[in-house]
Amino acid sequence: MTQPGDVGDPASTAIAPVAVDRFAGGNSTLLGRIGPLAFCVFWLLLLSIPFVTRNDYIVSLGVSFLINLMLIASLNLLIGYCGQISLGHAGFFGLGAYTAGIVSAKFGINPWAGLPASCIAAALVAVLIGIPVLRLKGHYLAMATLGFNAILSVLFNQLVSLTGGPNGLLGVKPLGFGTYLLDTQARIFPLLWLCAGLVMLGLNNLIKSRVGRALRALAGSELAAESLGVNAFRYKLIVFALTGSIAGLAGCLYIESNLYASPDSFDFSVSILLLAMVALGGWGRYFGAVLGALIYTAAPEILRTLQDAQLLIFGAGMILVLQFFPRGLAGIGDAAVRLWRPSRS
């Protein structure tokens, strides 16, 4: 009955045995084969949303999906490829949102400045946290990001003159080109579509690049990789900073699409939910993020009729999915391949 080595070793570097993604590297899975093409078609179809419907609500779901996708894909990079858990992703998200919001609402600077400002702010903070923490092996990133998120929540609530406090930040100026303002869901959608597309493309290239290869080597054996000259700390720091800046970008786009933000959207429970979405979609899988973002956006809408029971169903669903597909919903593709070609499993 006992299976030695089954339960992971608590003393190991990271709590995740790092996944090796098939989409970015090879093409041995179902998704790996049809994935890229299907994904491109899906992405082009997505752009049509604001043009085929005048229903602001449906477009806003598209906007939410794109923001969630950026958040979940970046967190997935950290968890799935670095094996590091962050409990503060919503903190970076909020940092980006408030940076961009304050730039335009309080300092009256052109809202476009918010885009680089929020990315840079989030990346800087990530580096600041990462330098002391990522040198250590263990759960230190989880602890540090949890603390970071808690500190930010306090600041969002208490720095009332800057953030508007618990009632939220009002008066954010919309992005625009001259007099054409991106002040409705339909008008800002193409910008989000572009940004999220670039992020997804960038992540795909990153995974295939030298950094991606180094991460995979580290995943195999950190010791072996280091003896070959891979600087584990440096790569983890790069990925963490990148993760933070993508979340910051998502935050900027979030506040520009709502022209409002309040602290409760960025507290640690949101960080946990994002983590759950990475898990459900499929951690360490490129398409896992897409599935995770779809679930995160659609689940509340679909489960709404269940009213009070919706979180119960969600929790139970999450447990069942992970029990049967430990690599999340993206793992269903693998299972399908195994059924299809049992001999080569």
Partner 1 sequence: MLTRRGTIAAFAGATFTGLTGLRVRAADAVRIGTILSVSGPAAFLGQDMKDGVQLAVDEINEAGGIDGRKIDWIFYDSQSQTQQAITEARRLISNDTVDMIVGGGNMSGIALAIAPMAEAAKIPFISTEGASAIVNPVAERAWVFKSTVDDYLVLHRAADYFDKKGLRKIALLADTSGFGQGAAEQFKIVAKERNLDAINESFAPSDTDLVPQLGRIRDAGAQAILCWTVTPAGVVFLKQAQQLGLDEKLTLIHSYGFVSQKYMELAGSAAAKLLLLSQKFAVGDQLPDSDSVKPKIATLTANFKRRFNRTPNQFVAQTYDAVYLAKTALAKGGADREKVRAALEGIHDYQSASGIFSFSPEHHSGLAKSNIVLVNWANGRFNLADYA
Partner 2 sequence: MTAGAGAEALQLIFAGLGNGAIYALVAIGFNVVFKSTGALNFTQGEWVMLGGMIAAAAISGYGLVWAGCLIAVVIVAAIGLVSERLVIAPLKRPTPMLITLLSIGLAIFTKSAVMLTLGKNPAGYPGFSGDLIFNVFGARVPAQTVWIIAIALVFMLAAHAFYEWTLLGKSLRAVAADREAASLVGINVRQSVMWSFVIGALAGGIAGTIITPLTFTSYDQGALIGFKGFSAAMLGGIGSLSGAMLGGIVLGLLESLAAGYVSSHFKDAVAFIVLLLILFVMPSGLLGRPSVERA
Residue 88 makes CB contacts below 8 A (sequence gap 6+) with 144, 145, 146, 147, 148, 149, 152, 268, 271
* Among 104, 258, 280, 330, contact with partner 1 (rule: CB under 8 A): 258
Residue 167's binding partner out of partner 2, partner 1, none, with CB under 5 to 8 Å set by partner kind = partner 1
Rounded least distance, CB 103 to partner 2, Å: 23
Select the span of 23-31, 40-48, 164-172, 243-251 touching partner 1 (CB under 8 A): 164-172
Interface with partner 2, residue 224, by CB under 8 A: no
- 7 with 259: CB under 8 angstroms? no
Find the largest Cα–Cα distance for the chain: 70
Interface with partner 1, residue 60, by CB under 8 A: yes
Interface with partner 2, residue 10, by CB under 8 A: yes
- 105 with 283: CB under 8 angstroms? no
Give the bridge partners for 176, in sequence order: 181
Interface with partner 2, residue 326, by CB under 8 A: yes
Interface with partner 2, residue 135, by CB under 8 A: yes
State the Cα–Cα distance between residues 30 and 36, nearest whole angstrom: 11
Chain centroid to CA 218: 22
Residue 302's binding partner out of partner 2, partner 1, none, with CB under 5 to 8 Å set by partner kind = partner 1
Select the span of 9-17, 166-174, 208-216, 224-232 touching partner 1 (CB under 8 A): 166-174
Chain centroid to CA 198: 14
258 burial type by CB count under 10 A (0-12 exposed, 13-18 middle, 19+ buried): buried
Interface with partner 2, residue 12, by CB under 8 A: yes
Give the chain's end-to-end CA distance (angstroms, integer).
24
Residue 45 makes CB contacts below 8 A (sequence gap 6+) with none
Instruction: Locate 243 and state its tokens.
Output: 């993760």
Select the span of 62-70, 92-100, 147-155, 288-296 touching partner 2 (CB under 8 A): 147-155
Binding site for partner 2 (CB under 8 A): 1-10, 12, 15-17, 79, 83, 85, 132-140, 142-144, 146-148, 150-151, 153-155, 158, 222, 226, 232-233, 268-269, 272, 275-276, 279, 283, 308-312, 314-316, 318-319, 322-323, 326
Binding site for partner 1 (CB under 8 A): 54-58, 60-61, 64, 157-158, 160, 165-168, 170, 185, 258-260, 262, 264-265, 298, 300-302, 304-305, 307-308, 311
